[in-house]
With several copies, the nearest count.
Chain A
């Protein structure tokens, strides 16, 4: 069972590497959208929240799950939408756009 932990650790480490490689390529211009965008991704915990809320164990658990879903969803939707809004403001010189 500790092994299982190590297997997950492998995934974690690899993902970390990808994160570093990819993010270091993002130019300063886009750091604010990057912040809010990656922030939205961290709302991925919604996947866990849904299970908890739908598993119907104890009432307490379900309530906890419900709150978790709400919070995570705010994070996801809010994050992606606000990032989208921001990014739509970035425009190249007209002649470039054509």
Chain B
């Protein structure tokens, strides 16, 4: 019986692995995700036959409640709210792991047994990681929802305090591993964990949340793994490790694309004073050149009679929810024989692949989307580079100006195009809060206004041509 259960868990793990493997291409991704889901289902059903389980009422209630909540959320959430969504789900996962571990602890307490040292250690770790994930994710969620301020909250001695707290926690764990089991010790740990989660995410700027979320994602996986160690369950250990790895990789990718170290993201208090959505001007080196503006009909003309137009979307497109208008315009242009390509910067938007999802939602075929490295050589032969709500990812300072916080980050070479049209609402900087020389370049002309409105105008203009 036990053996069969273990076999099912192994099978489930294999499903997860193949599922993730199939995620490596859009064509197979859907089935991959479903495969993983099937694996999970199988594991759950098998667990129902676990000898230890006596009563089912609570399990069933829990499953029904949880499943329905999950389903509702999944159906109703807006695509642009993905980051928050993931953050929230992370939190729940972490909390669940922590709770399971605590339950084990409680069990030992009530049975009056002293668990072996390896169990005590793993219990504590999974409670800690779980709670940190939980509170951290909630704060991240709050910041993205702008319930909590997106500002990087900083206060004197912050790092020192966190460091001390962290060290203290380690000490606590070690000490408890010997003194264990003490009544309520688990509550202390949980408390510390929650505090740690809040304090470590609060000082991080709202725009860095995606990185944090990826990291928390990996934590939630590790928490599950730890719980696996506690209850000696390979299924949990393997799956947890998979998630842990994936979270770490995504974190690394994002940091790399932003050309910042993880340490800098976590402790750099990036964007302190600058609000999310960057509505405040941060005085960088103020540039005094005049800027060129362009009217919708001129812009329409320019594109309609060009050979190749490359659309470079950014966070602003998501804010303006203008993805459908973009597609409509692109199709109009293509009807007129213009080749339209989309150039996607790895960290355009606010989470990895943000723009891809956004445009996919508007039925833009994924093979019209080009990664930065594929499209950059193309800009020389491009008549119009249309920058829609992107800013940092097209900031030439990243190439030229070693002072700039963006320096070294690979960018889209829109300034190499014959002409470049930038659509945004104002001269306000992007999330990094720095001036953008591109706007003053000779090839560039600005088309101010909300992306959605401007696009609507462009569409009608093109129709009239």
User: Which of A's residues lie within 8 Å of B, judged by CB?
Assistant: 1-20, 22-58, 60-62, 64-94, 96
Interface residues of B, dominant DSSP: helix
| Cβ of B29 under 8 Å from chain A | yes
Q: Separation in Å of the A91 CB from the closest CB of chain B?
A: 6
B79–A38 contact, CB under 8 A?
A: no
* Residue in contact with B89 in the complex, picked from A5, A44, A58, A79, CB distance below 8 Å: A79
Give the size range of B's interface with the partner. 35 or more
How many A-B contacts are there with CB distance less than 8 Å? 412
Q: A41-B242, A41-B243 are in contact. Are A8 and B54 (CB under 8 A)?
A: no
Contacts of B13 in A (CB 8 A): 10, 15
B44–A50 contact, CB under 8 A?
A: yes
Contacts of B239 in A (CB 8 A): 15, 41-42, 44
Task: Taking A15-B13, A47-B43 as given, write out 18 further A-B residue pairs in contact, using a Cβ cutoff of 8 Å, ordered by the A residue number.
Answer: A10-B6, A28-B356, A30-B24, A33-B29, A33-B33, A36-B86, A38-B247, A45-B224, A47-B233, A48-B228, A49-B100, A53-B62, A54-B55, A54-B56, A54-B59, A68-B103, A70-B69, A90-B360
B24–A27 contact, CB under 8 A?
A: yes
| Cβ of B333 under 8 Å from chain A | no
A45–B223 contact, CB under 8 A?
A: yes
* Cα of A5 to Cα of B230 in the assembled complex, Å: 9
B10–A10 contact, CB under 8 A?
A: yes
| B58-116 with Cβ < 8 A to chain A | 58-59, 61-63, 65-67, 69-71, 73-75, 77, 79, 82, 85-86, 89-90, 92-93, 95-97, 99-100, 102-104, 106-107, 110, 116
A50–B243 contact, CB under 8 A?
A: no
B44–A19 contact, CB under 8 A?
A: no
* Residue in contact with A78 in the complex, picked from B56, B74, B233, B241, CB distance below 8 Å: B74
Q: A12-B241, A66-B58 are in contact. Are A77 and B74 (CB under 8 A)?
A: yes
Chain B residue nearest in CB terms to A84: B33
A89–B246 contact, CB under 8 A?
A: no
* Residue in contact with B17 in the complex, picked from A18, A32, A88, A90, CB distance below 8 Å: A18
| Cβ of B446 under 8 Å from chain A | no
Contacts of B227 in A (CB 8 A): 45, 48
| Cβ of B27 under 8 Å from chain A | yes
| Cβ of B50 under 8 Å from chain A | yes
User: Per-position contact with A for B343-363: 1 when CB-CB < 8 Å, else 0?
Assistant: 010100001111011001101
B29–A39 contact, CB under 8 A?
A: no
B224–A80 contact, CB under 8 A?
A: no
| Cβ of B433 under 8 Å from chain A | no
* Residue in contact with A70 in the complex, picked from B66, B117, B354, B363, CB distance below 8 Å: B66
* Residue in contact with B237 in the complex, picked from A8, A18, A46, CB distance below 8 Å: A8
* Cα of A16 to Cα of B117 in the assembled complex, Å: 24
A-B contacts, 26 listed (Cβ < 8 Å): A2-B3, A8-B228, A12-B225, A19-B241, A20-B245, A23-B249, A38-B242, A39-B217, A41-B239, A47-B44, A51-B53, A54-B54, A61-B106, A68-B100, A68-B103, A70-B65, A73-B70, A74-B67, A75-B92, A78-B85, A79-B89, A81-B75, A84-B33, A84-B37, A92-B27, A96-B365
B10–A13 contact, CB under 8 A?
A: yes
* Residue in contact with A72 in the complex, picked from B14, B52, B93, CB distance below 8 Å: B93
A17–B17 contact, CB under 8 A?
A: yes
* Residue in contact with B53 in the complex, picked from A5, A55, A78, A86, CB distance below 8 Å: A55
* Residue in contact with B250 in the complex, picked from A31, A46, A56, CB distance below 8 Å: A31
B99–A44 contact, CB under 8 A?
A: no
* Cα of A15 to Cα of B75 in the assembled complex, Å: 32
Contacts of B236 in A (CB 8 A): 44-45, 47-48
Contacts of B43 in A (CB 8 A): 44, 47
A8–B229 contact, CB under 8 A?
A: yes
B36–A40 contact, CB under 8 A?
A: yes
Chain B residue nearest in CB terms to A91: B365
Chain A residue nearest in CB terms to B81: A82
B366–A81 contact, CB under 8 A?
A: no
* Residue in contact with B36 in the complex, picked from A24, A78, A80, CB distance below 8 Å: A80
* Cα of A86 to Cα of B368 in the assembled complex, Å: 18
Contacts of B71 in A (CB 8 A): 77-78, 81
Contacts of B354 in A (CB 8 A): 32
* Cα of A1 to Cα of B166 in the assembled complex, Å: 29
A41–B40 contact, CB under 8 A?
A: yes
* Residue in contact with A29 in the complex, picked from B55, B79, B106, B356, CB distance below 8 Å: B356
Contacts of B20 in A (CB 8 A): 19, 22-23, 26, 34, 37-38
A5–B63 contact, CB under 8 A?
A: no
Q: Separation in Å of the B184 CB from the closest CB of chain A?
A: 12
